[in-house]
Copies of this chain bind each other. A is one copy, B any other.
Amino acid sequence: MSSQVRVAILGATGAVGAELLELLESRNFPLTHLKLLASPRSAGRTLQFRGESLPVEAVGEDSFKEVDLVLASAGGSTSKAWASKAVEQGAVVVDNSSAFRMNPDVPLVIPEVNPEAAAKHKGIIANPNCTTILMAVAVWPLHQVQPIQRIVVATYQSASGAGRRAMEELKAQAQAILQEQTPPTESFPYPLAFNLFPHNSPLNDQGYCEEEMKMVNETRKIFNDPQIRISATCVRVPVLRAHSEAINLEFAQPMSVATAKELLANAPGVRLVEDWQANYFPMPIDATGKDDVLVGRIRQDLSHPSGLEIWLSGDQIRKGAALNAVQIAELLVERNWLKPATAMMAY
Q: In the complex, what residues of B have CB within 8 A of residue A300's CB? A: 206-207
Q: How far apart are the CA atoms of A112 and B172 in the complex, in Å?
A: 41
Mark interface residues in A212-250 (1 if CB within 8 Å of B CB, else 0). Answer: 000010000000000001110101011110001010100
Measured in the bound complex, the distance between the Cα atoms of B276 and A209 in whole Å is 10
0/1 string, A178-199, CB within 8 A of B gives 1: 1000000000011101111110
Which among B209, B229, B302 is the interface contact of A208 at CB below 8 angstroms? Answer: B302
0 or 1 for each of A277-316: is its CB under 8 Å from B? (1 = yes)? 0111101110000000000011111111001010100000
Q: Does A59 contact B (CB under 8 A)?
A: no
Stretch at the interface among A10-18, A146-154, A319-327: A146-154
Main secondary structure of the interface of A (DSSP, over half): mixed
Q: A175 at interface (Cβ–Cβ under 8 A)? A: yes
Q: How many residues of A contact B (CB 8 A)?
A: 59
Chain B residue contacts of A278, Cβ below 8 A: 189
Copies in the complex: 2
Is A72 in contact with chain B by the CB < 8 A criterion?
no
B189 touches A178 (CB 8 A): no
Q: Does A174 contact B (CB under 8 A)?
A: yes
Chain B residue contacts of A276, Cβ below 8 A: 203, 207
CB distance from A160 to the nearest CB of B (A): 11
Are B311 and A231 in contact (CB-based, < 8 A)? no
Tell me if A259 is interfacial: C-beta within 8 Å of chain B.
no
> Is A143 interfacial (CB-CB < 8 Å)?
no
Contact status A279-B235, CB under 8 Å: no
The reply to whether the CB of A102 lies closer than 8 angstroms to some CB of chain B is no
| Residues of B close to A244: CB separation below 8 A | 196, 235
Chain A positions within 8 Å of B, measured between CB atoms, are 150-152, 154, 156, 170-171, 174-175, 178, 189-191, 193-198, 200, 202-203, 206-209, 216, 229-231, 233, 235, 237-240, 244, 246, 248, 257, 276, 278-281, 283-285, 297-304, 307, 309, 311
